[in-house]
Amino acid sequence: MLPDLGSGAPSREPRSLRSLASVPMTVSVVLGNASMTISEFEGLAPGDLVRLDRAPDATVDLFINGVHAAEGDVIVIDEQVAARIGHLHLELDDE
């Protein structure tokens, strides 16, 4: 016999995001995109250049687990590349 799982309707009770605070996420920073054929990709060699669809001073896109979450600027801090957040597209309510 199977246990009673209720009506199956999602709970409407607010849940705090604090319970998810330690869940790891993948953050990706995208400088730009390029399109090419498989043949063109196969022809790439070390030293070749791939032109991106953005100007050098354009903002970059930040993705969280594949979802477009923010835009920002590329900066250098202590000889490491970083992204300074300029505009957030996602808002997480913590009620």
CATH no. for 23-88 = 2.30.330.10
pTM exceeds 0.75? no
Burial of 87 by CB count in 10 Å (0-12 exposed, 13-18 middle, 19+ buried)? Answer: exposed
Smallest Cα–Cα separation from 90: which of 74, 57, 66, 73? 66
Q: Where are the domains of the chain?
A: 23-88
Smallest Cα–Cα separation from 84: which of 94, 73, 68, 93? 73
| Length, in residues, of the chain | 95
Q: Mind listing the pLDDT tens digit of every residue in the chain (95 residues)?
A: 665 655 555 555 555 667 788 899 999 999 999 999 999 999 999 999 999 999 989 999 999 999 999 999 999 999 999 999 999 987 665 55
